[in-house]
A and B are shown apart, each in its own frame.
Chain A
Amino acid sequence: MGHGVKRKEDPRFIQGKGNYVDDVKLPGMLFLDFVRSPYAHARIKSINADKAKALPGVVAVLTGKDLVPLGLDWIPTLSSDKMMVLPTEKVVFQMQEVVGIVAEDRYTAADAVSLVEVEYEPLPAVTNPMKALEPGAPIVRPDKGTNHVFHWEVGDKAATEKLFSGADVVVKQELYYPRIHVSYMETAGCVADFDQVRGHLTLWMTTQAPHAVRTVAALVTKIPENNIRIISPDIGGGFGGKVYVYPGYIVAAVASIVTGHPVKWINDRSDDQPSTAFGRDWHMTAELAAKKDGTMLGVRIKTVSDHGAFFGDANPSKFPAGLFSICTGSYDLKGGFAEVDGAYTNKPLGGITYRCSFRVTEAVYAIERMVDVLAYKIGMDPTDLRMKNFIPSNKFPYKSIFGWTYDSGNYTAALKKAMDKIGYWDLRKEQAEKRKKGELMGIGVSSFTEIVGAGPSAQFDILGIKMFDSAEIRIHPTGKAIARFGTKSQGQGHETTYAQIIAEELGLPIEDITVEEGDTDTAPYGLGTYASRSTPTAGAAAAMASRKIRDKARKLAAHLLEAREEDLVWERGKFYVKGSPERAKTIQDIAFAAYTNHPPGVEAGLEAVDYYDPPNMTFPFGSYICVVDIDRGTGQPKVRRFVAVDDCGNIINPLIVEGQIHGALAMGFGTSFLEEIKYDEDGNVFGANFMDYLIPTAVETPKWETEKTTTPSPHHPFGAKGVGESATVGSPAAFVNAVVDALSQGGIPHIDMPLSPWKIWNALKEKGLAMEA
């Protein structure tokens, strides 16, 4: 452990030998495509598919009416709501699936789509969540009778009120976290194969949580759970967007049952981007109260969140607003209050997806932006203000005002390291000199605290299933091993990371350990991979299962060495007799004996399963500093430098961790500067493909300068914390703080993401700071 070994999975990816859903080809396979709604909100008056049915090669046409007898026109979401599979009465967002066409090839299916005549009666749409909550707004969900999804709050409202009214300084800022899409490389898709003889459904699909899907599928379809096999092969990115169950999966399965053929459905990019789960769309009014000297007292945040037409957040059941209650951040506060109202609108479902992190992203953005707003208000350097208010390292484990117990942290050390690395005070001098010359340069800081590793069973479940995760390890007679997990890598490098954990615990060479995930017929039950939970849960399970194997290996070694168990000493990969290191048996010797020479009273074999229920969440953290230069003529921002100091406890593979940080920083960069899915008032979607929805390329992505500090988690078996989302969570505030810092001389308080050149230029122009050339 701790070595940057190259990823075991990379040779097949680099050589194009990965096996993705679209690589699955079965004899007689048919293809599914969808007629999609041009309207955001409309009653369906009639559907005429005669011409499509007449097209040679078209095998079946499925509408919502065909799903009603099966009880599959609606299915449950992961958040105690339900969602339409295919509509029977009305459509509720633009690009919603309306009619499924099954044909012998995907081109015929696409041709047939354009032959279906759907008559719509357009209804008034609502795409703004604040407007959706006003009286008289068009009702998106007549079954609910209201656009209000939930009200959620945490903290003591009255006490916070008092804290704010007695404070020397209160700053307030509206912050919009834009709607974005995951934009994974591989779009959503599946191959459904129903065996009519056995009554057995095999579903290859792009899912981050295969077991959860199997259970839900069994409950919804009434196919016995042992007759459903979900296979999640290689996945080209998930980021939360592949936790959801989309209509395509259901309709493909039904189509396979109806036609007796395997049916493949793969979303086009232009279909995927506007119809699958989005992230964010979170409208906050944030306030911070402080003393004159900069001592922060409390935080208050009121939020309206847009959930589209179906409340489909992949949330732990007890937290309808995810883990937004981490919005006290890295600071030692006296009080606070946060509330969120969810709204239905005429947009696709989702909300929490996209480097999902259960709304931690929005929480961290809010607190880290507000610290800067406060710093400018009281004329204090943003790093000084942070240092003054950080939870001191000697106060861990630290109980936050909203009830979380932060496991470990040393925030001062991380910020100090970032400041040293970037030369913070020299940059401030340079900035002052540039200002005299009329040049705009900004420095932005973000000192975030993440909360990952969901989660302890007392607090965390999805649809009642507790959020443990699992590992099953079997050692073969020759000392080689296979390990299977309830999680599912989508690029995170689990095959390497998990092998390293087992190698560390059992002393096996990494190359002797095969790691498998994603097949519900073989893998132990688990809740899947999202929210940076795999290392804190399944990674811990790998260590615990290894330790169970080691306990049994000790019995076998005692038998082989004719010694007492308590006289044996474990040293990486072998047991020896205390005082006689030459009397030793390697784990390979022991494995062989487990099948050839096991003692009476001990079962044959060498294997173990562990379902790990973490005692607490893990709280990775870090400090990021960004330097940006702004062109006063065009408003174009350019990130000059970006230093990221991350602390995710003990690191299993530094190469993989750094890769995750690089990728997540690029995502944070895209969110901050480029990405947004917009809707007009009629519900027309903009940014539905990669011509209009811009994700960063290698050209404009800044060079990342990464560093680390190491503060182990005290409760994790080997002191690790999650890291996958740290940089997506932490970086947007650093980018925005840097741009606003550059503009602060003009008294510009805030600009919402994405920080497009014209937004910056408009702000400059308003303050008379824009230049003519």
Chain B
Amino acid sequence: MKGGDDAKVLAGGQSLIPLLKLRLASPTRLVDINGIPGLEYIRESGGYLRMGALTRMADLEASDLIMKRYPIIHDASVEIADPTVRNLGTVGGNISHGDPANDLPAIMLALEAEFVAEGGSGSRTMKAEGFFVDTFTTALNHNEILTEIRVPMASPRSGGSYLKLEKRIGDFAIAGSAVQLSLNSRGECERLGVGLTAVGPTAIKAKKAEEALKGKKLTDEGAIRRVGELAAEAASPTTDLRGPADYKKEMVKVLTIRSLKRAYQRAQRGGM
């Protein structure tokens, strides 16, 4: 990108503009990508749910497809910040800003999403796992922009849920837990994805928690609690105005257990 490290991409502007306003960032160039056609879509094709990077959060909220087949995303779409932010904020921006307090990164980790980036040296696809490098730092190069977010298509016996705890609507989360569950034909856990919001320098994929339930029935309260405990262990929150670290860890447990139970109910109903 012309301007190199000193240029910033402007999409919905819901994170960048506050940084500019507070003079925490002062890039010499802003590259407005809102004029790029064909980057606003939500559709299923080729085994994936595909979302264009410029898709507005409000579009997620209004999408029947998301509501019926990807409730984990729908859960977040009605709770991201507030309606005015959702009208402008984009899916790609929410993910590529690299803010651990944003909601979509944890959800993408739980969903094992893939991100397509385009840049001077062509196009490449990255897994959500490993994409979030550090706070405000992702695997995107400065000469790349995110163009598409892909999520493996929902299988019939799967369900997801996203729960977050916040002091007030529009505030950064105290903690959040994204859970995506697939059941086998015997009703046992086939695959579990767990992503955590606002409890570390990046969104966190709670891998031990994900493994703990494999092959187990969802009626096993002990196993469910174990998932919650392992998710809490994966969290490394800090004490701040949104609560003490130990409280946030406990809330990861509570939210993960609740999210898992809701994901199970939805999986039993065929994802809804």
Contact = CB atoms under 8 A, between A and B. Distances in A.
The answer on A and B forming one complex is yes
Interface of A: 110, 114, 270, 633-634, 636, 674, 678, 686-687, 689, 691-692, 694, 696-697, 699-700, 756-758, 761-762, 770-773
Contacts of A700: 168-169
Contact of A674 (B22, B23, B168, B261): B168
Contacts of B169: 697, 699-700
A758 B168 contact: no
Interface string B230-267: 00000000000101100100110111011001000000
B254 A634 contact: yes
Given A772-B253, A772-B254, A772-B257, A674 B228 contact: no
A758 B241 contact: no
B171 interface: yes
A771 B225 CA distance: 12
Given A270-B22, A758-B243, A773-B257, A636 B165 contact: yes
B172, B228, B247, B253: which has the most chain A beta carbons within 10 Å? B247
B6 interface: no
A761 B255 CA distance: 14
A300 to B, nearest CB: 34
Nearest to A754: B167
B256 to A, nearest CB: 9
B167 A110 contact: no
Contacts of A771: 254
A756 B167 contact: yes
Given A692-B241, A772-B253, A773-B257, A697 B82 contact: yes
Given A694-B171, A757-B165, A772-B225, 12 more contacts: A114-B23, A633-B254, A633-B258, A634-B251, A636-B165, A697-B82, A699-B82, A757-B167, A761-B250, A772-B254, A773-B228, A773-B254
Nearest to A697: B169
Contacts of B243: 756-758
Nearest to B168: A694
B170 interface: yes
Contacts of B179: none
Nearest to A678: B241
Contacts of B255: 634
A639 to B, nearest CB: 13
B247 A762 contact: yes
Given A686-B241, A694-B167, A773 B247 contact: no
B174 interface: yes
Contacts of B253: 772-773
A770 B250 CA distance: 11
Contacts of A696: 168
B226 to A, nearest CB: 12
A757 B174 CA distance: 10
20 contacts: A114-B23, A634-B251, A634-B254, A636-B165, A674-B168, A691-B172, A692-B241, A696-B168, A697-B168, A697-B170, A700-B168, A700-B169, A757-B165, A757-B167, A757-B174, A758-B174, A772-B225, A773-B228, A773-B253, A773-B261
A696 B225 CA distance: 34
A759 to B, nearest CB: 9
A634 B254 CA distance: 7
A52 to B, nearest CB: 15
A183 to B, nearest CB: 13
B248 to A, nearest CB: 8
A387 B250 CA distance: 42
Contacts of A758: 174, 243-244, 247
Contacts of B257: 772-773
A114, A692, A758: which has the most chain B beta carbons within 10 Å? A758
Contacts of A686: 241
Contacts of A634: 165, 251, 254-255
A761 B249 CA distance: 13
A114, A686, A761: which has the most chain B beta carbons within 10 Å? A761
Nearest to A695: B168
B241 A687 contact: yes
A692 B251 CA distance: 20
Contacts of B165: 634, 636, 757
Contact of B23 (A110, A692, A699, A773): A110
A634 B166 CA distance: 10
A202 to B, nearest CB: 31
Contacts of A770: 250
B250 to A, nearest CB: 8
Contacts of B241: 678, 686-687, 692
Nearest to B175: A634
A694 B166 CA distance: 11
Contacts of A691: 18, 172
A349 to B, nearest CB: 24
A47 to B, nearest CB: 21
A689 B241 CA distance: 12
A773 B224 CA distance: 10
Give 6 closest A-B pairs by Cβ, nearest first: A773-B257, A699-B169, A758-B247, A633-B254, A758-B243, A694-B168
B253 to A, nearest CB: 7
B258 A773 contact: yes
A270 B18 CA distance: 12
A772 B253 CA distance: 7
Nearest to B22: A270
Given A687-B241, A773-B254, A761 B23 contact: no
Nearest to A692: B241
A270 B22 CA distance: 8
Nearest to A771: B254
Contacts of A692: 241
Nearest to B172: A691
A761 B247 contact: yes
Interface in B145-197: 165, 167-172, 174
Contacts of B225: 772-773
A557 to B, nearest CB: 58
Interface string B65-90: 00000000000000000100000000
Contacts of B250: 761, 770
A110 B21 CA distance: 11
A697 B82 CA distance: 10
B234 to A, nearest CB: 17
B151 to A, nearest CB: 27
A399 to B, nearest CB: 44
Nearest to B221: A773
Contacts of A757: 165, 167, 174, 243
A630 to B, nearest CB: 14
Contacts of B82: 697, 699
B22, B23, B82, B167: which has the most chain A beta carbons within 10 Å? B167
A770 B246 CA distance: 14
